[in-house]
Each structure stands twice: as C-alpha cells, then as structure tokens.
Amino acid sequence: MRHFSTSTQILGWSLVLLLSSCIDPFTPPSISSPPSYLVVDGFINSRGISTISLSRTYAIALAASPPTETSASVFIEAQSGRRYSLRESAVKGTYVSDPLALPPADTYRLHLTTAAGKEYASTYVPVKTTPPIDTVAWRATGTGVDITMSAHDPANATQYYRFEYAETWEIVSPYIPSLEFLGGRLRPLSVPFPALCWRTVRGTTVQLANTTTLTQDVVASYPLRQLPSTAPQLLRQYSLLVQQHALTKDEYQYWELLRKNTETIGSLFDPQPVQLTGNVQGLGSNAGAIALGYVGAHSLSEKRIFIARRQLPAAWRPLTGYESCMPPDTVRPGAETYAFGTNYLPIYATYKNGGLVGILAATADCIDCRRRGSAIRPSYWP
C-alpha cells in the first residue's frame, strides 16, 4: 500500500487551471515539502506471525519508495500487561513477531518507540477470529479470467471483511545465451542464465465487503481479480493467494475511507477527500503527534489456487512481456568492446560461409529473467 502525505488530505490537491484552452497542472507548495508523518501498516495476528511496516509520508510527486522507519523498538501489549516483542527483519522498516496464540478474552495494542525517541501506540482493540475461506473460483469468459471468492461465518460474528491477494506466475526469457563478453573478448558462457523465473506481485486496491444488511453472514462470489486473455500471467502457470481479514466496525470504516480517498477521487463529481489518521497516536512528550494507520487484531485465513495454460482456451494468445525485445539487435564484428557492457549482452554469433557475420545481442532485461522476478522456485509451486 502506498502511503500519502498529510493524512491523505494531499490527495485532494490535484488541481488544474483552464487558461486559454490549455490545461496546466498546479501543485501547491505544501505538496513539494510535506510533513514527515509516521505510517504504521499491518495488524496484530492473533494466530500467527505479526508483521508491521513503519515508514514516513512523502510527496506524491516523488518517484521513490516511502522512507522507512528503522531501528525502532516495537512490541504488542495486552491490556492485562503481557508484552510480545517484534524484531526488525532483513527488510528495513519491517518488524516481525514470533508465532503468536493470543488469548481472545484480552484486548491488545501496538506500542513503538522510534530511534529518535518518539513514542506511539495504537488503541486497545478486541481480537476477532477470521472464518475460513470457503472457495476461490475462476472461470474463463469471452475476454479473460474472472476470479471470485466466497466465505461465511455461521456464528454471524464477522460481518466486516477485507481481502488481499498476491499473484505469482512463471517468466521465461525469449533468449538462451551461449556467449559472454569477458576480459575484452567473446567466449563461451561459463555460468548459464536461469531458464525459468517467478514473479510475485501483491494487489494494490482496497477490497472490502460487509454483510450487515443481510440475514446471514455470507460473502458470495466476491469479485477479486480480472485478467484479460492477453495477460502475461496466463502464458504458463499462474497462482493466486487470497488472504481474508475479519475487521471491527471501526477498522472497516478506516479502510473504507482509505478506499474512497485513493480510488474514487479524480473528477469534480467524486467525493472529496477526508482526513484519515486511524488509531495510532503519540504518547508522553510526543502526545498529539499525527500518525497514519489502523492496527487491528485478528487471525488470518488463506487459500491458494493455480491456473495452468492448458486449462484455458487454445485460441487465447497471452503476451510474453518480452514483446519489446523482439527481434534482437546485431553487433557487427569489431564493435564488441563498444557494444557490450553490464546491461547489453551477447546471445550467440551468426556465421555465413564460415565467416563471422555478427553477434545477436539484447539488453540484460531481455535475457536475464531475474530482472523481472526470482529464479528461486517457490516452495508451494507444483
């Protein structure tokens, strides 16, 4: 999730001026140097590992990742007094706990102190138990693949749901090099490039459902993901992991405001943005400090599906993602030193009548699938 500056009020400052039949963007000065507010992203997992990411707000115009908040002291605190520590992982600004089994009768909050000594805590919240996901189903339509999910709570105790997904698919480079340029000369490739990689991407939209107006606590055929028939994800093997969260009413309202602020603003007729903070606040000498994020406490339900290319219509033609790499370039003999560097690589040589004609070549992004994913096979892959 991308975090936005000034409690997401800045989302409403995308204004345009219509002058002399031209449209020019106008950026208020406050956007170019917004305050740096703490952003807390994550939840207290009552039946597993809790993962909390800490970062700072930043200007929307900056093409960069949010600044991470590192070296913080973070723990989960029960209202009865017990504490559960989180440690910073290899991913800077991300803090993880040991596997937890929190007693549901207690209430819990997240407590943290930044490296600069600023203290924050979320409000105490009750634990909700997330029901299992009943089904994740997909079907091929005339234009692509529709993926839906269904769930229910026979105790009618959930009512407020949030869904996330992560999709993984196979990547195959169009080229298998046999040469490398090393020490100023071409030679047979010593270490082959991987033939297969996997790319994983998390969904970025806020997906919510509530059953408060229904007679039963049932979510039926909720639309999760749509993929066109040309999607590169469908070229070989595709997987979707669905995660389900049970929310309190307050947490649901926070996510609903976030959804409206980030997804339904863009025209004069859309709802105006509202100030969005959450349930994290400054403590002690830091009282009154603004922080963004809502930390709830609940268990997590997951279900994974796979879709193989052979299960889809034969007439479909998914893109490879490497269309811009075709065809490869040709480097003429004698230009190797000039042409080949760290990002431009030889593939193989071409000959005619026993003489070298040229070396087929492409950028590393067209050859090495690790530029687009990982060569480590996921443990769950069939």
**What are the per-10-residue average pLDDT scores of the chain (382 residues)?**
37 34 54 78 98 89 80 98 98 97 97 98 98 98 97 97 98 96 92 96 97 97 98 98 98 95 62 73 94 97 98 97 96 90 91 92 97 98 96
Beta bridge partners of 351: 356
Q: Where are the beta strands (DSSP E) in 46-102?
A: 51-56, 73-78, 83-88, 94-97
**Radius of gyration over every alpha carbon of the chain, rounded to an integer in angstroms:** 26
* Cβ contacts of 186 within 8 Å, gap of 6 or more: 179, 180, 336, 346, 349, 359
Tokens linked to 362: 């492409």
Mode of pairing for the β-strands spanning 197-202 and 207-210? unpaired
Helix, strand or coil for residue 70? Answer: coil
Query: In this predicted structure, what is the pLDDT of residue 255?
Result: 96
Instruction: Report helix, strand or coil for 224.
Output: strand
Q: Where are the domains of the chain?
A: 1-128+253-295, 179-190+325-371
369: left (phi over 0), alpha (psi -120 to 50) or beta: alpha
CA–CA separation, 260 and 267 (whole Å): 13
Give 107-127 pLDDT, tens digit per residue: 999 999 999 999 999 999 999
Q: What is the pTM of this model?
A: 0.86
